[in-house]
């Protein structure tokens, strides 16, 4: 670790502990998903270097943020992504990544060896035409190969992220449950959120409130596990297979149990996916080198700005 911390877990003014960091390493992407929220990031100015990301994680870790998720944009677009993972891994308990999977066939083994433990792979459809309509790419086969490479490389668990879109892919949920089960992956069904590109006239027509799906899963489950993070439910189905539900919209419980802080690709601490008016810019501190105490204060300031977005 090698750095003095600030004691135990930081808590925000609402008493929520902060134990994980979700870092966007780039806003660049090789897909064009029409609904992409880009992690709620607006107008990025450049990207943090691998060294800067590692320094941030070192400080965050000393403050109790011991889990890191890398996201983007597409994280595997970065040429130094393996270096980033190997730089971060010694400082935290767990490094995971959310990826569109198209380049995982190439990188899964190296990433695992560098210290990546878990992967979320976005797979919104198993139908080539629907996949192309959603992502703008004819790359379903590459993503399925990426899923298989991730599992073979030893990443555990592999979760398949499916943003549920009414009338577009929601009819595929039973097929996705079977596919995930056959591959030993967890299916993660995500509610379509109206953030940035996700907003617009089509949000209402495509938004599927996941409560009806949760009811169906509950009836088919032998066990339900409630995760600490955002009180997400994991349904262990009677016939095998696990489905996790990510249902943030108007969900006060989801926000009450949110324990993560975000970092934008250009180095701003971001207290909430849904807001851009309360960011703390740490890029200048990192650029100057040896951000040390100033970085610790910046983290504390960002945590103090955290507020539940959906609340009673």
Applying CB under 6 A, which residues contact ligand SAM?
A: 29, 35-39, 71-72, 74, 98-100, 122, 161, 163, 190, 192-193, 195, 198
CB of 102 to ligand SF4, least distance (A): 8
Choose among 70, 54, 58: nearest CA to 6: 58
Count of C-beta atoms within a 10 Å radius of residue 105: 19
Among 25, 31, 62, 105, binds ligand SF4 (CB under 6 A): 31
Minimum distance of ligand SAM from residue 49's CB (angstroms): 20
The entry of ligand SAM, ligand SF4, none near residue 161 (CB within 5 to 8 angstroms by kind) is: ligand SAM
- Distance of alpha carbon 55 from alpha carbon 61, whole angstroms: 10
Neighbouring-strand partners of residue 68: 21, 95
**Under the phi-then-psi rule, with left for phi > 0, alpha for psi from -120 to 50, and beta for the rest, what region is 154?**
left
Q: Is 121 in the site for ligand SF4 (CB under 6 A)?
A: no
Q: Which does 32 bind (CB under 5 to 8 A by kind): ligand SAM, ligand SF4, none?
A: ligand SF4
Nearest distance, CB of residue 287 and ligand SF4, angstroms:
25
Q: Is 111 in the site for ligand SF4 (CB under 6 A)?
A: no
The site partner of 192 among ligand SF4, ligand SAM, none (C-beta below 5 to 8 Å per kind) is ligand SAM
Site for ligand SF4 contains 40 (CB under 6 A):
no
Q: Which CB, 192 or 254, lies closer to ligand SF4? A: 192
Query: Which of the choices ligand SF4, ligand SAM, none does residue 114 contact, using the CB cut-off of 5 to 8 A by kind?
Result: none
Q: Distance between the two ends of the chain, CA-based, in angstroms?
A: 39
Report the residue number, 87 or 101, with the smaller CB distance to ligand SF4: 101
Helices 50-62 and 292-304: angle between axes, nearest 10 degrees: 70
CB of 101 to ligand SAM, least distance (A): 7
The two counts, helices (H) then strands (E), for the chain are 11, 14
Q: Which does 179 bind (CB under 5 to 8 A by kind): ligand SAM, ligand SF4, none?
A: none
Strands 17-18 and 242-246, by their bridges, are unpaired
- Closest to ligand SF4 by CB, 27 vs 221, is 27
- Work out whether 101 is an interface residue with ligand SF4 (CB under 6 A): no
What secondary structure does DSSP assign to 76-138, as a single string?
Answer: GGSTTHHHHHHHHGGGSSEEEEEE-STTHHHHHHHHHHHT--EEEEE---SSHHHHHHHHSSS
Q: Does residue 237 contact residue 173 with C-beta atoms inside 8 Å?
A: no
Write out the residues near ligand SF4 by the rule CB under 6 A.
29, 31-33, 36, 72-74, 100, 122
């Amino acid at each position: 670790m090698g750095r003095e911390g600030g004691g135990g877990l930081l808590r925000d003014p609402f008493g929520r502990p902060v134990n994980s960091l979700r870092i966007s390493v780039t806003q660049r992407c090789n897909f064009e998903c029409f609904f992409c929220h880009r992690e709620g990031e607006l107008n990025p100015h450049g990207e943090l270097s691998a060294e800067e990301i590692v320094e941030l994680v070192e400080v965050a870790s000393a403050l109790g943020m011991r889990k890191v998720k890398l996201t983007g944009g597409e994280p595997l677009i970065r040429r130094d992504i393996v270096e980033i993972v190997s730089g971060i891994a010694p400082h935290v308990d767990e490094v995971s990544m959310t990826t569109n999977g198209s380049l995982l066939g190439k990188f899964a083994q190296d990433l695992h060896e560098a210290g990546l433990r878990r992967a979320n792979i976005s797979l919104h459809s198993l139908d080539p035409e629907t996949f192309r309509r959603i992502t703008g790419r004819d790359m379903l086969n590459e993503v399925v190969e990426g899923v298989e490479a991730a599992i073979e490389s030893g990443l555990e668990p592999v979760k398949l992220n499916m943003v549920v879109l009414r009338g577009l892919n929601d009819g595929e949920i039973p097929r996705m449950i079977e596919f995930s089960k056959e591959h030993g992956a967890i299916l993660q069904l995500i509610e379509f959120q109206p953030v940035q590109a996700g907003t617009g006239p089509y949000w209402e027509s495509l938004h599927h409130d996941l409560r009806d799906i949760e009811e169906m899963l509950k009836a088919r489950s032998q066990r339900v596990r409630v995760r600490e993070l955002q009180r997400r439910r994991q349904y262990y189905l009677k016939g095998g297979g696990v489905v996790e539900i990510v249902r943030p919209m108007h969900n006060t419980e989801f926000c009450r149990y949110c324990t993560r802080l975000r970092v934008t690709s250009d180095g701003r601490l971001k207290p909430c996916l849904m807001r851009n008016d309360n960011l703390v810019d740490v890029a200048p501190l990192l650029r100057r080198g040896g951000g040390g105490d100033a970085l610790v204060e910046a983290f504390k300031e960002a945590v103090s700005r955290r507020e539940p977005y959906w609340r009673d």
